[in-house]
Amino acid sequence: MRRKQLYAMILAGALATGGVPVTAMAADAASETAGEETGDFGSSEDTDNSAAEEQPTEAPAEPTEAPTEPEQPTEAPAEEPAEEPTEAPAEQPAEETTETETVAEENTATGIAIINKDAAGNDVPDYQPSLQAAIDKVEAATSDSEATVIEVSDQLELSSTVTIENKKVCIRAAGDVSIGRADDSFKGDMFQVSGENASLQFEVKDGGKLTVSGAFTDTSITAEGSIVKVTDGSFGLFSNVILTGNNSSAKGAAIDCTNGQIALAGGTITGNTGANGAVYSDSDILVQGTVIVKDNKIADVQANVYLDKEAKFMITNELTGSEISFTHANAADGWQVLGAADKVESSVFESAVKQFGYDTDEYTLNAADTTTKTVTLKKKADTPDPDPEPTKDFLSYKSGTLKWTSHTAVSVELSNTKDCKWYYTYVDSGTSEAKIKKMYDAKHTTTSVKANKGFTVTATNVPEKNNKWLVVFATSTDGTTEMKYFKLDEDSFNKKRPPKEASFLTYKSGTLKWTNHTTVSLDFSTTQDCKWYYFFVDADTSVETIQNMYDSSRATNAVKANTAFTVKAENVPEADSWLVVCAKPTTGKAKMSIFKLNTPSFKTKRPPASNNNTRKARTYSVSELASKSKITGLKDPLKFTPGTFYEFSVTGAGQNDEPPYVSGDERWIPMYWSMKENPTETSDKNTTFRIGSPKGIKDAKTYNIYVFFKKQIYNGSEWQDTDVIESVKTQFSSQELTDADLTITPTGDGDGTGGGSGSGSATDAELTATEAATEKANGSSSKSAVSTMDESPIGTMATLAVLSLLAAGYILIRKRKKDI
């Protein structure tokens, strides 16, 4: 039971800290967002940019060596609940009945239910009109009371903070459920936990999924609160629960814990931006199971967990397949950041340590001390800047050219004495020059300029907050890289910033809706004569890419000033997509608004496909998989110079079949590739279809490669995975190289960094020249001719060991308050 699992974690953590006073928190751990998410962005040409960032100075001044400490935001007062809990009807005097008569009480299903138990131990739902109403009905907690399970089976939209004060609550999702903000006006904490006996847990039932998102429909809005704020209480997170999407000024965008306790027994925390990152805690965080905390930020800088005061991570049991990254407020040589409960074996602790990383370059984790089960920080020695090292030999700033072009854009003129490619980015104010140099990414240098021509950088989306610097990187054709950076945080420059322009285009909140399976509609109003059009992009497409897709020739739908109009967007793709609406006024710059159609709550509202097609289902047998699948990019011999990587594409049989689909249609979706015919290790399964060699391959050889596909079947409304996985064998060859070829230093997209333009969670394969094309063909037991560094998990995660069932309650660590 989850109750005993969390109890075991907190008890183990309490014992490991040397007998910190604890109070029992026995808790029965059996254990709503609008689909629209919009942000206005300008395209790269002839558009205005409404997503803001920060400001530059008149000349490129030297930055300080150390970034300034982020200001601690003031805590926003809790908002009032969205709706008052309904009063329970007064009990009526019961009429006289015989012993065999019963009085039935009507309980209408609402998707929110307090779960009670009958005499036989069966669940008895007590439905409530709202989540807050259900919590209000829970009795106040004592040190030994159990948590009340509130089961949620519908998508929830919160219009005010849900408060858990001196109560023990477990919110359990039955099926795939999302909880989000009802509208963009609600910016506070989504959940608040307070009181020494208070606790909140998020978990799922029977393989469900719970997504708690703080995202706004307008992506430029910043929240003032966290997804979960904990004061003096505790918060527990379990598998298949995701905390995401909160862009907030709070210390921890996902979890903000002060004088409380966080216990992570699973779950994922990703895609959040906070003043100190995703998770803030000033007390130990207990971890076990499979926990993912990554890809969260402070502004544009990686920032996941922020430990304050003497807080550290406490390993309470086995940690498997986890990825947790953090920083510490008191980072210093020898500062302890990881520890373990007494009963955790040294081998378990050592394995867990490998699943942690530090978010900045200044420190690394010392090897685990197996005798004391501790890990401390170690300050890295100063090292030379990585190649290519920025030099100052061909790029110059034209003094006095830095200026505002609009409220959200600046321009600056530069001159160059060599052919080069350049790009710009923003960094936090106060970032050291050495750290800025390390942010260089060759794959972004895509804009070319000839020698001695000079060029103008127009930097868009300047933030509203005054906490950014503009950096321009340029790389010459001979591989030399130089940078110029401009402080956008000085008052003298900000005083010249043009006022914010009122947008001529306004989206009417709450109007985005499905009209059928392939069509959505939404309402706008405009204050100017304009023409508009729309298009779809893949989910998670970058803003810069979307801006560059703007095409004024497609804006053919005319609308008059001061009128409302409806966009009816047809042919919505089956895959996760975003809708982009573009409008161009008669005079002025265009506006682009992005609507995320892939949010969990909005996807669930999509009507099923109406299919009047009576054709026979399209099926593809295993024997047809090879002939009807397509693998391109590996036909010609490849020149594997050091650090050169090649992308290849894979299309499965039926993958590109056009809708409408009929029930029973089949298709094969590529999952991963391997150099082994029957790969068993995760490290042998590569999810990035990109191959190369950091060291290069000298000899001309032929290699076998196996691409694995999963079979999907259409059930009449959506594609469903099956358990059928089959492979297709193909081959590729390497060219013979000279010794000179093997000494080439790669540039451009042969940087060997792996991950291409994606999320960076997977790395590229490493080739090593061996005599065998495959192990099986030669009866060899040696490693494959192609090995990989890709450690991303594939398929079903390994089953976790059953956690210790120690007692019938939880233990909550709390500090005794000193008498004054």
**pLDDT per position as a tens digit, 291-335:** 999 999 998 788 999 999 999 999 999 999 999 999 999 999 899
Residues in the chain: 820
Parallel, antiparallel or unpaired: strands 228-231 and 255-258: parallel
Share of the chain above pLDDT 70, in %: 75
576/692 same-domain check: no
Q: Tell me, what's the pLDDT at 19?
A: 39
Specify whether 253 is located in the same domain as 154: yes
Q: How far apart are CA 39 and CA 213, in angstroms?
A: 16
pLDDT at 612: 54
Residue 211 or 197, more confident: 211
Return the pLDDT at 492. 84
Q: In which band, very low, low, confident or very high, does the pLDDT at 382 lie, cut at 50, 70 and 90?
A: low
64 Cβ neighbours under 8 A, 6+ residues apart: 430, 432
SS3 content of the chain, % helix, strand, coil (to 5): 10, 35, 55
Tell me whether residue 283 is in a domain.
yes
- Token pair of 152 as six digits: 């949620």
pLDDT score, position 36: 40
Using the predicted structure, report yes or no on whether residue 791 has a pLDDT greater than 60: no
Is residue 58 in some structural domain? no
Provide the β-strand partners of residue 113: 127, 151
Q: Is the pLDDT of residue 706 over 50?
A: yes
**What is the arithmetic mean of pLDDT over 743-763?**
39
Residue 789 has pLDDT above 80, yes or no: no
**Sequence-ordered list of residues with C-beta below 8 angstroms from that of 58, at least 6 positions apart, any chain:** 400, 402, 492, 493
Residue 103 is assigned to a structural domain of this protein: no
Cα–Cα distance for residue pair 267/629, rounded to 1 Å: 36
pLDDT band, very low/low/confident/very high, at 69 (cuts 50, 70, 90): very low
**What distance in Å separates the CA atoms of residue 197 and residue 147, rounded to the nearest whole number?**
10
Q: What is the average pLDDT value for the chain, to the nearest integer?
A: 77
**Cα–Cα distance measured from residue 654 to residue 502, given in angstroms and rounded to the nearest whole number:** 48
Our count of domains for the chain comes to 3
**Which residues face 480 on adjacent strands?**
none
Q: Read off the pLDDT of each residue in 153-181 and give the average, rounded to a whole number.
A: 94
Residue 316: predicted pLDDT = 94
pLDDT value of residue 776: 33
At residue 613, the pLDDT reads: 54
pLDDT of 396-434, one tens digit each?
A: 999 889 999 888 889 999 999 999 999 999 988 888 888
Domain boundary among 294, 328, 353: 353
442 occurs within a structural domain: no
More confident residue, 627 or 784: 627
What φ, ψ does residue 546 adopt, rounded to 5°? -65, -40
Give the least confident one: 313-322, 380-389, 742-751: 742-751
| Reported confidence tier of residue 355, pLDDT bands at 50, 70, 90 | very high
Percentage of the chain exceeding pLDDT 90: 44
Which residues 6+ apart lie within 8 Å of 418 measured at CB?
394, 451, 476, 477, 478, 480
pLDDT bracket for residue 210 (50, 70, 90): very high
Q: Is the pLDDT of residue 686 over 50?
A: yes
Judgement on whether residues 599 and 631 belong to the same structural domain of the protein = no
Indicate the pTM of the whole model: 0.45
Query: CA dihedral in degrees (614, 616, 619, 621; nearest 10)?
Result: 170
| Domain of 763, in residue numbers | 622-788
556 domain residue, yes or no:
yes
Q: How confident is the model at residue 817 (pLDDT cuts 50, 70, 90)?
A: very low
Q: Which of 476-490, 637-651, 763-777 has the lowest mean pLDDT?
A: 763-777
Question: Is 66's pLDDT higher than 50?
Answer: no
Name the residue with higher pLDDT: 588 or 34: 588
- The stretch 801-809 carries a mean pLDDT of 28
**Residue for token digits 């590996």?**
634
- The residue among 327, 353, 379 that closes a domain is 353
631 lies in the same domain as 753: yes
Q: Taking residues 655-659, what's their average pLDDT?
A: 88
For residue 399, is it within any domain? no
Contact between 395 and 484 (Cβ < 8 Å): yes
Q: What's the chain's Rg over C-alpha atoms?
A: 29
- The token pair that represents 127 in the structure block: 């439905």
> What was the pLDDT predicted at 138?
93
Same domain, yes or no, for 240 and 289? yes
Check whether residue 597 and residue 640 sit in a common domain: no
pLDDT band, very low/low/confident/very high, at 749 (cuts 50, 70, 90): very low
For residue 415, the model assigns a pLDDT of 92
Same domain, 750 and 698: yes
Q: Which of 92-106, 619-633, 730-744 is the least confident region? A: 92-106
Contact 519, 569 (CB under 8 A): yes
**Is pLDDT above 50 for 7?**
yes
Residues 575-612 pLDDT 10s: 999 999 999 998 888 888 999 999 888 888 898 876 55
Tell me the pLDDT band of 794, cut-offs 50, 70 and 90. very low
Q: 258 in a domain, yes or no?
A: yes
- Shared domain check, 286 and 187: yes
pLDDT at residue 47 in the model: 47
Same domain, 558 and 699: no
Buried b (16+ CB within 10 A) or exposed e, 721-754: eeeeebbbebebebbebeeebeeeebbeebebbb
* pLDDT reading at 8 higher than 90: no
Specify the pLDDT at position 29: 33
Q: Based on the domain organization, do 174 and 288 belong to the same domain?
A: yes
Q: Which of 539, 573, 604 is the last residue of a domain?
A: 604
The predicted pLDDT at position 5 comes to 59
What element of type H or E holds 734?
A: strand 719-734
Give the pairing of strands 148-152 and 112-117. Answer: antiparallel
Average pLDDT of span 262-286: 95
Q: Does 639 lie in the same domain as 563?
A: no
Residue 328 lies in a domain: no
Q: Which of 378-392, 576-590, 743-757 has the lowest mean pLDDT?
A: 743-757
Nearest by Cα to 231 from 204, 258, 202: 258
265: confidence class by pLDDT, cuts 50, 70, 90 = very high
Residue 535 is part of a domain; what is its CATH number? 2.60.40
Q: How confident is the model at residue 11 (pLDDT cuts 50, 70, 90)?
A: low
Range with the largest mean pLDDT of 34-48, 207-221, 489-503, 600-614:
207-221
Shared domain for 685 and 716, answered yes or no, is: yes
